Chain A
Amino acid sequence: MDAIDLRLRGLAFVRAFGIVLAAIPVMLLLFLNKDAYCEDSAVVQTYVHSFDNISVYTGVFALNKDLSLQTSVYLKYAVDFVNPDIEGSEGGEDGEGEEGDENELRGDDALRKFSYVAAVSGASGVASTAGGGSSLSDTRNEFLGGITHNFNNIIALDAYLDYSTESDYKSTTPTITLKKDLFEKNTTLTLGYSRNMDTVSGAFMDRSEERNTDNFFFGVTQLISPVAVMQIGYSLNQSGGYMPEGVRLVPVDGVTADTCTAESATCVDESLPDKRNRNAYLVSVSRYFIEGIGGFLNRSAVKLTLRYYDDDWDITSYMGEVEYYKYLTEQAVLRLNYRYYTQTQAFFIKDSYGSEDHYKSSSPQLEEFDTNLAGIKLTYFLKDLGLPPVLLNSIEGKYEYYTESIGVNAHVVMAGLRLAF
């Protein structure tokens, strides 16, 4: 990493942070409430996701404002700056990948960069690039607005609209969620529907294409005891339309990825089924501990989450996560977390493709692999700090390390603060 690179990274970080900071006074002017007892809050966070040769800088600004006891509004703006290593240095874990991902990791710089750019950018979680092989930086902007209303304590309705845009991707997602409390609020039922309406226009695409996804979800939150709560959820996603991301080429008929710098007879667009149905099942249990294990569990909570997923592309995945929260003092909370994820590959994934193959993919996301994520986070709650009516409620920072069995590693650093007014 040379000086220019460092400076560019620094600039991207300052831009991300500056934009969200500039949003604060505007939001406060719009929403400042004279009622000192209101629990309105604003959140400012910055993230760096640093991969072997690309970094993504993220700024988030969110505001929650109660209009009345029954109605609140939520606004969020998030920006991602994708900042690849301009020297195109070697990918950190080249050569360690399994057979299926060699094209991604051993291919030429352009292809490899495409896969790295796909790291964290991408509306609806899809890859992104600025187009040309030399300039792969990109910016993603996301705007989210929503309202929550409680109808006479009988049913609560959340309505959200999310819009995100970047150079080759646009996504609009309306979401509606109904929540109902039962049995003296021992049980909460959640029912939701959202629709992702995406427009994909990747670097290797002649024209933009559409993709729509209907998402249905149902959940039950159940109090088990005065110190334990359980959540069970199911979600169904039905996608139709253009599934590739338009940022990857697939070498066919014996050609290696190294020669795939542009679309040709032997380097073709990805071709994927035009429908995908996905199911996910989730169980989560949180348990509060007043004391235990020689102080280790004093004022702490442990949360376990398990998720099973399958789809009609034959991908099956399992996810397990454990989080441990602990009050170190009255004001400082520590979080340790570990997450394991494993998936099988899609039914059409092969080591190499021939032009006669109906489906072709060079996406590492569709291969068999597993991932690990471990992190530490500290939150410090402040008391009466700030100029009333705006108080600094908490500051927080985290570090996480992410690793994939197919040879991608990332450091995740986050800093944030929460304001109350």
Chain B
Amino acid sequence: MRKRVFILILLLGIAAVSGCARVKPWEREYLADPIMQLDYNKEEKAVREHFLGTREGSAGSFGVSGGGCGCN
């Protein structure tokens, strides 16, 4: 049941964002800021996921990485 609720939230999220107004190429200065990058420090992220992966039972399922800010 919880899983279905989560999937529903995901689908609603996708539907919501796909209807968003487009962000123009020249409007992406803040999105390009290092503090907004999803994988700015991928080495730190890898070490942390390795550490947590040895502690927690859901190791190896950290979801997706990457994806850009669309700023170039």
Contacts and interface: CB of A to CB of B under 8 A. Distances in A.
Chains A and B come from one and the same complex = yes
A300 B3 contact: no
B38 A365 contact: no
Interface in A271-329: 278-284, 286, 288, 290, 300-301, 307-311, 315-317, 325-327
B14 A179 contact: no
A145 interface: no
Nearest to A364: B55
B54 A188 contact: no
A42 B55 CA distance: 29
Given A49-B51, A179-B66, A230-B17, A186 B60 contact: no
Contacts of A237: 60-61
Contacts of B62: 235, 280, 282, 307
A414 B27 contact: no
B57 A366 contact: yes
A2 to B, nearest CB: 26
Contacts of A402: 55
A333 interface: yes
Contacts of B24: 184
Interface stretch (A22-30, A94-102, A212-220, A352-360): A212-220
Contacts of A241: none
Contact of B69 (A119, A217, A229, A310): A229
Contacts of A250: none
Interface string B25-62: 10111110111101000011011001111111111111
A277 B69 CA distance: 32
A282 B54 contact: no
B67 A231 contact: yes
A33 interface: no
A78 B44 CA distance: 11
Contacts of B71: 185
B36 A229 contact: yes
A233 B28 CA distance: 23
Given A235-B63, A308-B2, A333 B38 contact: no
A234 interface: yes
A144 B24 CA distance: 36
Interface string A182-226: 011111101010001000000000000000010101111111111
Q: Across the A-B interface, give the 5 residue pairs with the lowest CB-CB distance, nearest first.
A: A221-B67, A219-B64, A125-B53, A282-B63, A185-B70
Interface of A: 43, 45, 47, 49, 58, 60, 62, 76, 78, 118-122, 124-127, 158, 177, 179, 181, 183-188, 190, 192, 196, 213, 215, 217-227, 229-235, 237, 278-284, 286, 288, 290, 300-301, 307-311, 315-317, 325-327, 333, 341, 343, 346, 365-367, 371, 373, 398, 402, 404, 408, 412, 414, 416
Given A185-B25, A221-B38, A237-B60, 19 more contacts: A78-B46, A124-B53, A125-B54, A179-B66, A181-B70, A226-B30, A227-B30, A229-B36, A229-B69, A233-B64, A280-B58, A282-B64, A283-B9, A301-B36, A325-B35, A326-B35, A365-B56, A365-B59, A371-B56
15 contacts: A76-B46, A127-B54, A184-B70, A213-B60, A220-B67, A231-B67, A235-B63, A278-B60, A280-B63, A283-B9, A283-B10, A286-B38, A288-B35, A343-B56, A416-B44
